[in-house]
Chains A and B, each alone.
Chain A
């Protein structure tokens, strides 16, 4: 499988996020050898009719990957229990400053829609 430019689809180009699949479990953050992932979440109570007590769910607030630090090992992709992270072969996102390589939820999700 290759993409239109002849690069393997699973090439370690960039990491794409599906924020709706993320449960803020922090496994990727803790397993990252380069410590390049950060996420913030808050807890919300969900009350369901008939339930004995409200459930608590984590809601993702921020999720950033610093591609200046990332060593593209894919451990985060491998350990995510909910397949919220996956590889995308895009490589063309050089930046004019180190901070420009830090991508948040919107940028990480935008890779999903690219061919």
Chain B
């Protein structure tokens, strides 16, 4: 089986205020359906690594492959399209668009992808909301629902295009333990049933312990994986 995401010898430097090498030649791969967490102290470069892998940060050296396709040196518009189709994101904050309804928030990435009709997309979005048990909130504005619900809507949005991999930057960092557990269960379900991969940066020991694999980082390198 081929890895969904593969990174070879990733290096990245920050130049401001002084030159620091924040990623020092990392190798990493994620298999389909694998649930991987990245852990490490603050400043070890784990978030930086995630954003390099996410294709949003293009200032790095090394090779990056998503579903076999080389991503380094791709044009920004092409990267945006790849993100749209193949990567889902969940952040510590929900980043729902406040002017839009919950349903519309979930639909937007699929509308951007434009492979299906608006009706089909709406149907899919409702499916995802149901999967995350927030279908009742579909027509409310994104500002009118609770924090835990918002995060679940954000996960539904990440899932709408059935991406190959979902990346998370502290997705449970802002949730109480009950909601965090719930999010974990959803993630687990996604990997086991949909065969989608998950790559989650987290501080939460308990959360990481339950994932398939923990990648430990320190000082810009991987100590164990």
A, B assembled together: no
Contacts from B to A (Cβ < 8 Å): none
Task: Using CB atoms and an 8 Å cutoff, list the residues of chain A in contact with chain B.
Answer: none
